[in-house]
A and B are shown apart, each in its own frame.
Chain A
Amino acid sequence: MTGAPVPPPDAPVAGQGDAKGTSPGPTALRPARPRWRETLGLLARNPTAAVASLVLVGIVLMAIFDETLAPQGPSEVSVQDRLQSPSWAHPFGTDDLGRDILSRVILGAGVSLRVGFLAVGIALVIGTLIGLLAGFYGRWVDDVLMRVMDMLFAFPAVLLAIAVLAVRGPGSGNTALAIGIVYIPIFARVTRASVLGVREEVYVRASRSVGASDFRLLTRHVLPNAAPPIIVQTSISLAFAVLAEAALSFLGLGTQPPNPSWGLMLAEGRGFIDIAWWLAFFPGMAIFLTVLCFNLLGDGLRDVLDPRQRTLMAGGGR
């Protein structure tokens, strides 16, 4: 006999694809990496999504350190400097009260993003919970919850937001609440659809067969596996929430002066568009850039979180 010793017939086997038409190649010996790190790694290979994430990180950092970054206070009025075009002293120019627009854009980021995150946070938590319960339990739970969602969905979004603000009064917090309520049915639907698929997976049944409670099934198996579309929806909804905040502020229902908010600044700049374009242009660009980046990130996540795409990209990038 030559060669290496023969492994015993029932020995542990290392390696690949012995089941039918599956498992490509020698992935078996790759060390385990947490999924989120793999996701980040894959995202980094998608240039648009990577740039978008970097820009968003920049915007968030800007919002956090706004006080330090802003050259002036948001409400520092200086009448002699009113309506100055962009210059070294005021890179984005000044408005009709002589306030520095760069400072107001920087400080407005905080307001816009806070409202956006808060609104999506409300919608995400409540919507996902409703979708999770409706999708998992089905039957009358599904019927009741989703009919309520349909009613909410059927209501024109702006009207609903205006109604909430009319009842609770304007302001950032209430704006976030209003937008959040409008977005609940979207998250409920996305979650429900995803849960309906995951619920039928054999591994959920397998987990039930060893005695796992519904709570455990929902938190350990169903939600994590149903998460990808919800994550994508979150990113895209953030874009829309920033936009919605701008729209409501524009209508005078959101953030109240003199607090800076991009939407509000846009509204205020409207009157001067023919003599001082920079009043509306820079807040508009800020909105545009943020919304675009959230959308691009959403698209990138959609690709990365799709298991089929994942395999292809993971293989291709070796």
Chain B
Amino acid sequence: MSGEVLVSARGVEVHFPTGGRGFRTAQAGVLRAVDGVDLDIYRGETLGLVGESGCGKSTLGNALLRLVPTTGGSIAFDGTDITGLQGRRIKELRRRAGMVFQDPFASLDPRRTVAQTVSEPLEVHGLRKGRDKAARVAELLELVGLDANVAGRYPHEFSGGQRQRVGIARALAGEPDFLVCDEAIASLDVSVQAQVLNLLRRLQRQLGLTLLFISHDLSAVRHISDRIAVMYLGRVVEIGPAEAVGTDPQMPYTQALLSAVPLPHPKLERERKRVVLTGDVPSPAAVPSGCRFRTRCPYAFEPCDDVDPALQPVGAPGQQAACHLHGVVGTPATTPDGVTATP
């Protein structure tokens, strides 16, 4: 890992209009899927992005690749602001940054062979032609642990784990620097998950990739990541070295998340004290004022209502958490916008 930042997000926002379009615009609100994320991803590292469903982690991953338009903030990829990119430049970004999707049964076109799927980036970017292309496809298939002679087969002939390998081969075809894995192991069985996790780790080392590993599974994230970022309701609430975040979290939400992860050790499980959160995650269309976790936080106190906490260094070197328990730092809630738009 070098100290060089490959992807840098500043105040990134992805807001979706809710309610109807056309005649029903009167009812429209705003869904704050990603709501002010600052994040640096260093070249050659694996950053784990964890959070529960609806926290915006997938949307953020898509936004970093410009697959979802941002409504605010800026994203720099290798020093270039990509939020305004057009045409050829955006195509180049697509070559340099790939994505592995969750469901290996949906992410491969059922009507195209493995070779056609894996060679698509090569054709799109005019990287290889004819015999070279076939050789490169074979090389990619072997790289992900598949036999090169499966190239002519269709996706329905493969198991989930094999399909996911095909998906990874496609993402790697353009020799990207940056790979986003969006819940890439969530639909796989435990033993197959392990195969894919090991493969991703091996590829990351072998190819010097920068990896953003998005998952709801804290155990898998901690296993594969150098650093972990925790998202809650559209915001990164804690970030730091995997070891520190995974064993000594500083933000009450991370602590609750960590304590809710079931461990396969019966004795530990019996001794463990759980922080059981009450209630549900608020809707991203009605984000609480101040600290967005305060409605479920067991430690919430006065400043949490009014001051939106900023990330501040705390705990291990490189660890940051957005929590007033470590000192009240942040922007006071401004009533018109900061307060929820509850009907």
Q: Please say whether chains A and B are actual partners in one complex.
A: yes
User: Which residues of A pack against B, CB within 8 Å?
Assistant: 9-13, 15-20, 22-23, 27-30, 32, 35, 201-203, 205-213, 216, 220-221, 224-225, 307
With A210-B120, A212-B124, A221-B112 given, can you name 17 additional A-B contacts, CB distance below 8 Å? A18-B162, A18-B191, A19-B161, A19-B163, A19-B192, A20-B187, A20-B188, A23-B159, A203-B106, A206-B108, A206-B167, A210-B170, A210-B174, A211-B121, A211-B124, A221-B109, A224-B109
Are the C-beta atoms of A225 and B110 separated by less than 8 Å?
Answer: yes
Residue of B at shortest CB range from A310?
B156
* A18 and B160 contact, Cβ closer than 8 Å, known pairs A10-B202, A12-B147: yes
Bound state CA distance, A27 and B155, in angstroms? 11
Q: How far is the CA of A307 from the CA of B155 in the complex (A)?
A: 13
A17-B159, A209-B98 in contact; A9/B147 too (CB < 8 A)?
A: no
Instruction: Give the shortest distance, in Å, between A305 (CB) and chain B (any CB).
Output: 11
Beyond A20-B189, A206-B99, A210-B173, whether A10 also contacts B107 by CB under 8 A is no
Contact B188 A203 (CB under 8 A): no
Q: Which residues of A contact B152 (CB under 8 A)?
A: 32
Query: Binding site of A, secondary structure by majority: helix, strand, loop or mixed?
Result: loop
> Is B29 close to A, CB under 8 A?
no
A55 to B95, CA, bound (A): 51
> Min CB distance, A37 to chain B, in Å?
12
- Complex Cα distance A296/B103, Å? 37
The residue in chain A whose Cβ has the minimal distance to the Cβ of B163 is A19
When distances are taken between beta carbons in the complex, the residues of chain B under 8 Å from A224 are 109, 111
Closest A residue to B21 by CB, please name it.
A139
Nearest A residue (CB) for B96 = A211
Q: How far is the CB of B125 from chain A (nearest CB, A)?
A: 6
Q: How far is the CA of A211 from the CA of B171 in the complex (A)?
A: 11
CB–CB A11/B145 < 8 A? yes
- B341 interface residue per 8 A CB criterion: no
Q: Which residue of B lies closest to A203 (CB)?
A: B109
Closest Cβ of chain B to A224, distance in Å, is 5
Contacts of B171 in A (CB 8 A): 209-210
Among residues of A, the one whose C-beta sits closest to the C-beta of B106 is: A202
Chain B positions within 8 Å of A28 at CB level:
157-159, 162
Q: Complex Cα distance A208/B170, Å?
A: 12
Residues of B within 8 A of A (CB): 65, 67, 90-91, 94-95, 98-99, 101-113, 120-121, 124-125, 145-147, 152-154, 156-163, 167, 170-171, 173-174, 187-189, 191-192, 195, 198-199, 202
**CB-based contact A211/B91 at 8 Å:** yes
The complex places the Cα of A140 from the Cα of B136 at a distance, in Å, of: 42
Known A12-B146, A28-B158, A35-B111; contact A202-B103, beta-carbon cutoff 8 A: yes
In the complex, which of the residues B95, B109, B174, B195 contacts A9, with contact meaning CB atoms closer than 8 Å?
Answer: B195
A residues near B110, Cβ cutoff 8 Å: 203, 225, 307
CA distance A16 to B104 in the complex (A): 14
Contact status of A17 and B174, CB under 8 A, knowing A10-B198, A210-B124, A225-B111: no
Q: Please, how many angstroms separate the alpha-carbon atoms of A2 and B120 in the complex?
A: 44
Q: Which residues of B contact A307 (CB under 8 A)?
A: 110
Knowing A9-B198, A209-B94, the reply to whether A17 touches B160 (Cβ < 8 A) is: yes
User: Shortest beta-carbon distance, B232 to chain A, in Å?
Assistant: 25
In Å, the complex CA distance between A123 and B94 comes to 37
Q: List 13 A-B contacts (CB under 8 A).
A: A10-B198, A11-B145, A18-B162, A19-B159, A29-B157, A202-B101, A206-B101, A209-B65, A209-B171, A210-B95, A210-B170, A210-B174, A221-B109
Q: For residue B102, which residues in chain A have a CB less than 8 angstroms away from its CB?
A: 202
Chain A residues with CB below 8 A from B188, complex form: 18-20
| Residue pair B159, A18 in contact (C-beta under 8 Å) | yes
> In the complex where A32-B152, A208-B67, A211-B91 touch, is A22 in contact with B111 (Cβ < 8 A)?
no
Residue from A16, A19, A29 in contact with B105 in the complex, judged by beta carbons closer than 8 Å? A19
Chain B's closest residue to A33 (CB) is B154
User: In the complex the two chains form, is B174's CB within 8 Å of A205's CB?
Assistant: no
When C-beta atoms are compared, the residue in chain B nearest to A200 turns out to be B106
Contact of A10 among B105, B113, B145, B154 (CB under 8 A): B145
Among residues of A, the one whose C-beta sits closest to the C-beta of B105 is A22
Chain A residues in 8 Å Cβ range of B187: 19-20
Q: Are A18 and B161 within 8 A (Cβ)?
A: yes
CB-CB nearest in chain A for B91: A211
Taking CB atoms, residues of chain B closer than 8 Å to A22 are 105, 160
Complex formed: what's the CA distance from A15 to B161 in Å? 10
Which residues from A are CB-within-8-Å of B67? 205, 208-209
CA distance A316 to B124 in the complex (A): 40
Set of chain A residues within 8 Å of B109, measured between Cβ atoms = 203, 207, 220-221, 224-225
In this complex, the member of B65, B106, B173 whose beta carbon has the largest number of chain A beta carbons within 10 angstroms is: B106
Q: B113's closest neighbor in chain A, by CB?
A: A32
CB neighbours (8 Å) of A23 from chain B are: 105, 156, 158-160
Q: Is the Cβ of A10 less than 8 Å from the Cβ of B195?
A: yes
In whole Å, how far is B154's beta carbon from the nearest beta carbon of chain A?
6
- By beta carbon, the residue of chain B nearest A213 is B124
